[in-house]
Chain A
Amino acid sequence: FLAGFGSLMQDVLWCFSQVKGTIDAGVTESDIISTVEFNHTGELLATGDKGGRVVIFQREQESKNQPHRRGEYNVYSTFQSHEPEFDYLKSLEIEEKINKIRWLPQQNAAYFLLSTNDKTVKLWKVSERDKRPEGYNLKDEDGRLRDPSMITVLRVPVLRPMDLMVEATPRRVFANAHTYHINSISVNSDYETYMSADDLRINLWNFEITNQSFNIVDIKPANMEELTEVITAAEFHPHHCNTFVYSSSKGTIRLCDMRTAALCDRHAKFFEEPEDPSNRSFFSEIISSISDVKFSHSGRYIMTRDYLTVKVWDLNMENRPIETYQVHDYLRSKLCSLYENDCIFDKFECVWNGSDSVIMTGSYNNFFRMFDRNTKRDVTLEASRENSKPRAILKPRKVCVGGKRRKDEISVDSLDFSKKILHTAWHPSENIIAVAATNNLYIFQDKVN
């Protein structure tokens, strides 16, 4: 056991497990992964891409014969969720890119998920078919109608086994409720409602009703010229179905209680950290804009991601976060260049592990970072084809910020800003993570001893 190798976080060593996607040097834009999400059991892993497709992977049953292959994820279903549309009124295209996927908890044999692009949310049912009825009276085996006068005998159709087929059908389409671009969807803990949030409004839906939604937050000013702040992310509390939070481009988080009023324009709690005057610059506001907000599984904390940091907030303390983690502070001196090439507007997501003890978020150069909240240790890992040998242990990476660069370190100026890890997911109960690197999906697991 060599010290310095592997990630020394509670003795977890992360290993490469699988990678999905093509290895071609040229990336087709439509293949870029735009969202990743495990379902509630971790059995399924869904990805959405810029081309409007959803790919669902299913974990294979662990076999005693091959214990080291700890349940690999294989393609289970692929379907086209959204198509490009054209808004004739505004002369604008509506992208088919899948912004978010959220799973519903499983209540029967079928799986349900919500997928959304900028304007329309869809509820998809994914179900298996492994039997098919045979012996119809009115149709023959090819499906052609039989001449009724030729039928002399009646029979009862029987179900016969067939090759497993996984079907995805759109069960609900929730459209025409958002003027602005949808950035978040969140399933409520009552499993009957969900919310969709765009730049200025949040709507509450009932899964059964597609032609109506309730507007619960509206921050659009009467005069659009006065617009200075937008909604960037929103999520329901994991247990309290009346509570949700939404974050803003000014670095604030508002917690709202739907019991107080139909329109939750007045927050119940307001989370904001006072600005550090020594770090003030023209870019201060931009880098304070929150790109993602996530409740912990316990419901006690929220985590927010802004451009340079991840913060953990206690719901009971509004005036500052309880923990702040630097993701890539070496970029602070590069903000002007990052503003020029628009990278400063990249929206990184963040995730909790199953026990809320470790948090993870992405960075540039295909790096992603994990922070252990208990030991306060952190690690930088890389999703790359070079580290893609089966069960190869990931070596921690380090960015050199100045002075002498050690052999394994990479200097800030060598970072590839086109390789950004915006979307990651953590299995709900195990140390399995999915990392989206442009058009490739990497799956890493902890080492099996």
Chain B
Amino acid sequence: MFVRGLKRKCFDGEEDIEGTLAGIKAIPSYNLQRQSLLDMSLVKLQLCHMLVEPNLCRSVLIANTVRQIQEEMTQDGTWQMINTQSTGQASLDRLVSTDILCRSSRDQAEGKHVPAYGTFNKDFESDQAQDSSETMSTASSVQAPRNLQSNVWEMESPQENKGNFQKSLDQIFETLENKSPNSVEDLFSEVDNSYYDLDTMLTGMMSNTKMGHCDSLETFSSPTNTASNSNCKSDLNDLDHIVEILVES
């Protein structure tokens, strides 16, 4: 996790990696990498190819990766920290850090002493065993057993200060049927809803996922009141798009 105030010196450039890393605890580096991987994965899931249906296999693999990271973060307690911290500029920084992640991988190839995921996992397992009882109780209090698929939680308390990426993740996995209806769905209300399920959500083609896309980007800057704005904006965009298609056909 990228705590504000921590110098980023150690990740800039490849020259001083060995020296500076030795002086910094291994754990923040792993958390940073993991967080960057999570952000990168979420961006990948949300980037929708506007015209062609994206690859379901790729989407499923990315989603599984996200789930894996989430499970690990839930186990070692960093998940709850993400949720309670204020959403602000830190989120933008997390997106930026994907470059850091991949630079570190390159360093590995050149033989520099940057640990791989594998070794860190081993280190964490021993910690997790000790902390699990603590994290479980704190986790539940913050509604953190983040079952990726649980949209029930989202329906009950749609507050904006939940973790941003958790919100966008749920939007990705929710089916259209369960979301609050909008005018787009009304237009297609006679249509068999089985079309509008996870695969189309993953493709990002349906309006709600588009909304999620805009939503998550916007909440990085202003987390509190974007839900309704983005609803309206994307509704209008989708209406235009649909009218275009209807007119053309």
Contact = CB atoms under 8 A, between A and B. Distances in A.
Interface string B33-74: 010010010001000000111011110110111011100000
Given A90-B53, A333-B116, A285 B195 contact: no
A91 B241 contact: yes
B231 to A, nearest CB: 19
Interface in A262-320: 278-283, 285-286, 289
Given A91-B245, A286-B65, A181 B118 contact: no
Contact of A280 (B56, B121, B149): B121
Given A93-B51, A224-B197, A282-B69, A230 B105 contact: no
A230 B53 CA distance: 16
A91 B242 CA distance: 8
B89 interface: no
B209 interface: no
B208 interface: no
A345 B67 CA distance: 18
A225 interface: yes
B198 interface: yes
A89 B60 contact: no
B101 interface: yes
B175 interface: yes
Contacts of B60: 227-230, 249
Interface string A91-123: 111010000000000000000000000100000
A5 interface: no
B169 to A, nearest CB: 11
Contact of B56 (A230, A335, A413): A230
Nearest to A340: B102
A11 interface: no
Contacts of B109: 330, 333-334, 402, 412-413
A225 B198 contact: yes
Given A224-B199, A225-B175, A281-B116, A199 B102 contact: no
Given A180-B199, A224-B199, A88 B175 contact: no
B173 A232 contact: no
Contacts of A225: 148-149, 151, 173-175, 198
A199 B53 contact: no
A336 interface: yes
B52 A93 contact: yes
Interface string B165-206: 000000001110000000000000001000101111101010
Contacts of B143: none
Contacts of B44: 342
A89 B149 CA distance: 26
Q: B-side binding surface: helix, strand, loop or mixed?
A: helix
B67 to A, nearest CB: 8
A314 B203 CA distance: 37
A337 interface: yes
Contacts, number: 121
B153 interface: no
B105 A334 contact: yes
A199 B64 contact: no
Interface residues of A, number: 45
B57 A92 contact: no
A181 B61 contact: no
B53 to A, nearest CB: 5
A24 interface: no
B157 interface: no
A191 interface: no
A334 B102 CA distance: 8
A173 to B, nearest CB: 21
Contacts of B40: 339-340
A289 B118 contact: no
A91 B83 CA distance: 35
A226 interface: yes
Interface string B114-155: 001110010000000000000000000000000011010000
Most buried by B among A179, A180, A345: A345
B108 interface: yes
Contacts of B113: none
A285 B198 contact: no
Contacts of A278: 118
Contact of A181 (B34, B56, B205): B56
Nearest to A330: B109
Interface string A380-416: 0000000000000000000000100000000011000
A88 B245 contact: yes
Most-contacted residue by chain A among B40, B61, B111 (CB, 10 A): B61
**Max chain B CB contacts within 10 Å: which of A228, A280, A333?**
A333
Given A91-B241, A226-B149, A199 B57 contact: yes
23 contacts: A90-B205, A91-B241, A91-B242, A118-B53, A180-B199, A181-B55, A225-B173, A227-B60, A280-B118, A282-B69, A285-B68, A286-B65, A330-B109, A333-B105, A333-B109, A333-B116, A339-B37, A339-B40, A340-B101, A340-B102, A342-B44, A402-B110, A402-B111
9 smallest CB-CB distances across A and B, nearest first, come from A224-B198, A281-B117, A225-B149, A224-B197, A336-B105, A199-B56, A333-B109, A93-B51, A337-B102
Interface of A: 88-93, 95, 118, 179-181, 199-200, 223-230, 232, 249, 278-283, 285-286, 289, 330, 333-337, 339-340, 342, 345, 402, 412-413
Given A91-B242, A93-B51, 11 more contacts: A92-B53, A95-B52, A181-B56, A224-B175, A227-B199, A230-B56, A280-B117, A280-B118, A282-B68, A285-B61, A286-B65
